[in-house]
Structure 1
Amino acid sequence: MAELAALEDPKARAVNERHGDDHGVNLGKLRAVAKRLRTQQELARGLWATDDTAARLLAILISRPKAYGRDDLDSMVREARAPKVHDWLVNYVVKKSPHAEELRLAWSADPDPAVASAGWALTAERVVKRPDGLDLAVLLDVIESQMKDAPDRLQWAMNACLAQIGIQHPAYRTRAIGIGEELEVLKDYPTSPGCTSPFAPIWIDEMVRRQG
């Protein structure tokens, strides 16, 4: 904790706080600390328990994903209020867990939009890597009816799922683009030069074009 405190940078904190993350540690330096520590599950649990955002990010990086039980992960995702902690927890730990599918099903309809967004992030992962067994038409129905009025983090996750359906599954591409055009979610999102817009119709078209 002392080492993390010594890495505190006011400029990094200002940038992070604009994204809702309450810490001032440069993520490159944080990753360097994690690389030195390597996997240490008990230390990871202790760091998580501090409720400090930088410590929790470090905890995620040194965790052994399969060491967490289903209830551990459920509690952690509900505690992960900083967006970066939430994002890393889902991507670096939950997606590698044997409980990922059970949690995907439980979380996707959770009344807490932050938890539901984790479920939708796991669904987007399945759309890309293991689509067998998913009813893509039903997913599109839900996105069409709920995404427009969803809270920001949930809306973003549903939009990513919409885009991946359109990118990965040609049979549903026209409908996915149509839903994006109808709902106009993230249509005006500011996009840096060289980056792809998160607006689903543009995102889908660009990724399909790159696939050739």
Structure 2
Amino acid sequence: MIETVMAELAALEDPKIRAVNEKHGDDHGVNLGKLRAVAKRLKTQQDLSCRLWETGDTAARLLAILICRPKAFEQDDLDTMLRDARTPKVHDWLVNYVVKKSPHAEELRLAWFADADPVVASAGWALTTERVAKKPDGLDLAGLLDVIEAEMKEAPDRLQWAMNHCLTQIGIEHAAHRTRALAIGERLEVLKDYPTPPGCTSPYAPAWITELVRRKDEQAAG
């Protein structure tokens, strides 16, 4: 079965897609829409998912994430997988599609948050951002802003991006901390000059916060 699936993924390889992905640190050339179609046909298959992951191939790992059962993984399994997921797309999908649905998400958030590996730490920040938006009770939002203010400017790219997302989420969701979140973003100027396509919201925190709050206010008024 796995040989058949790997052959199918190889047949979907497109050099042009690979060239684009490699600019973002991802080493695969499979159209994600076609990959999702394969996953939809295969449906959930935990054993096959594990075997695909073990290949180490990026496209296979993305497919593995789509057909796995998130709650089937133990905490140590997910920690090992996260530390082995070095390409951005595999890392992001693993966190968003698997870890966030796991009963071990909070324990992993705490374990990863201050990890010495900035890529692992970025996963902890991503899980923290999820809590900021959906389950903020118990979080020290002022303390998070302290860390962001002290460390985000010099953080490695992927960790910086995750911290910036947390900053914006605090500013968007928590009015009591909005003024400070905006001030931190304005002072640090992280991602201020990030190229943003027309019609898209800039990841620069003050612009992102202002735009999303405006949309929320419009929805509330309408």
TM-score band (shorter)?
over 0.9
Q: Distance in 1 between matches of 2:155 and 2:49?
A: 33
Q: Does residue 148 of the first structure (1) align with residue 153 of the second (2)?
A: yes
Partner of 2:97: 92
Q: 1:158 aligns with which of 144, 159, 163?
A: 163
2:192 corresponds to 1:204: no
- 124, 146, 154: which is aligned to 2:129? 124
CA separation in 2, counterparts of 1:62 and 1:194? 33
Q: Structure 2-normalised TM-score? A: 0.95
Secondary structure, in 3 states, of the residue corresponding to 2:142?
A: helix
Match in the other structure for 1:114: 119
Amino acid at match of 2:38: V
Task: Describe how 1:1-212 pairs up with structure 2 within 5 A.
Answer: 1-212=6-217
How many angstroms does 1:140 deviate by? 0.2
Amino acid at match of 2:182: I
Structure 1 position 34, deviation (Å): 0.3
SS of equivalent to 1:147: helix
1:42 partner amino acid:
D
* 1:160 CA drift (Å): 0.1
Sequence identity percentage = 80
Cα distance in 2, alignment partners of residues 131 and 20 from structure 1: 32
Structure 2: stretches of 5+ with no match in the other structure = 1-5, 218-222
Which residue is 2:220 aligned to?
none
What is the rounded CA distance, in whole Å, between the counterparts of 2:197 and 2:43 in structure 1?
A: 34
Task: Identify unmatched segments of 5+ residues in structure 1.
Answer: none
| Count of matched residue positions in the alignment of Structure 1 and Structure 2 | 212
